[in-house]
Chains A and B, each alone.
Chain A
Amino acid sequence: EAQVTQNPRYLITVTGKKLTVTCSQNMNHEYMSWYRQDPGLGLRQIYYSMNVEVTDKGDVPEGYKVSRKEKRNFPLILESPSPNQTSLYFCASSHLELTGFPTEAFFGQGTRLTVV
């Protein structure tokens, strides 16, 4: 079954304690990205990756890091989480269209993060 898998689904942590949210896809997609979703703001892109070792900032990258060492995995790293990073996070993946651009087609189930 084609899927994007995020772990954990729920996480409560304390300010400043480094954490990693994992994301894995089994569709051999080139493009992967991370979003955060906050009430009234929709989804905002944090980082995206065009392929292995190719990553770039989205609209809200501050306070986050990513890595793409393997095609299937795209972890989101919060080096020093703060309460304003409390949010619902989604990982997504897609292939690249003939245009060379992605169609954001597959989203994970989400990770609800609370930073206290």
Chain B
Amino acid sequence: GQQLNQSPQSMFIQEGEDVSMNCTSSSIFNTWLWYKQDPGEGPVLLIALYKAGELTSNGRLTAQFGITRKDSFLNISASIPSDVGIYFCAGHWGTYKYIFGTGTRLKVLA
């Protein structure tokens, strides 16, 4: 079946640093989504990408839809303590099913 590889699995960073994480798919995707999940909460949609090459920002967050349509990247600039959480990528390839990555756990050292 379809698989999404998300990396890194976890990362510690210093407050103020920039963060990068990515997802790769075994097949071409039509939509890429990025979410953040805080403990005890449901995922919250951060950024949605619909076209290959698309670059979209949401505050300090920037995400890109890879040209090959098989990958996507999320960057967080100038990280702050409230960025702590699990970040998920998700996407679909033109069906109504969604696939999620396994998550990147972000921990910020103040």
With A43-B100, A90-B42, A109-B41 known to touch, is A101 a contact of B1 (CB < 8 Å)?
no
A59 to chain B, nearest CB (A): 7
For chain A, what secondary structure do more than half of its interface residues adopt (helix, strand, loop), or is it mixed?
strand
B33 contacts across to A, CB distance below 8 A:
103-104
Bound CA–CA A41/B90 (angstroms): 13
CB closest chain-B residue, reference A35:
B100
B52-84 interface bits toward A, Cβ cutoff 8 Å, 1 = contact, 0 = none = 000000000000000000000000000000000
Report which of B42, B50, B92 forms a contact with A109, defined as CB distance below 8 A: B42
Would you list which residues of chain A between 60 and 116 have a CB under 8 Å from chain B? 90, 92, 97, 99, 101-110
Interface range on chain B (Cβ under 8 Å from partner) = 20 to 34
Would you list which residues of chain B between 76 and 110 have a CB under 8 Å from chain A? 88, 90, 92, 94, 96-103
B43 contacts across to A, CB distance below 8 A:
43, 90, 107
Flag if A101 contacts B92 (CB, 8 Å).
yes
With A108-B42, A110-B41 known to touch, is A31 a contact of B96 (CB < 8 Å)?
yes
Report which of B6, B41, B98, B102 forms a contact with A104, defined as CB distance below 8 A: B98
CB closest chain-A residue, reference B95:
A101
Report which of A4, A41, A45 forms a contact with B98, defined as CB distance below 8 A: A45
B98 contacts across to A, CB distance below 8 A:
33, 45, 48, 58, 104
A33 contacts across to B, CB distance below 8 A:
98
Flag if B97 contacts A58 (CB, 8 Å).
yes
B10-54 interface bits toward A, Cβ cutoff 8 Å, 1 = contact, 0 = none = 000000000000000000001101000000111111001010000
Q: What are 21 A-B pairs at a CB distance below 8 A?
A: A33-B98, A35-B100, A42-B100, A42-B101, A43-B88, A44-B100, A45-B97, A48-B97, A48-B98, A56-B96, A59-B97, A90-B43, A99-B50, A101-B30, A101-B31, A102-B96, A103-B33, A104-B98, A108-B42, A109-B40, A109-B41
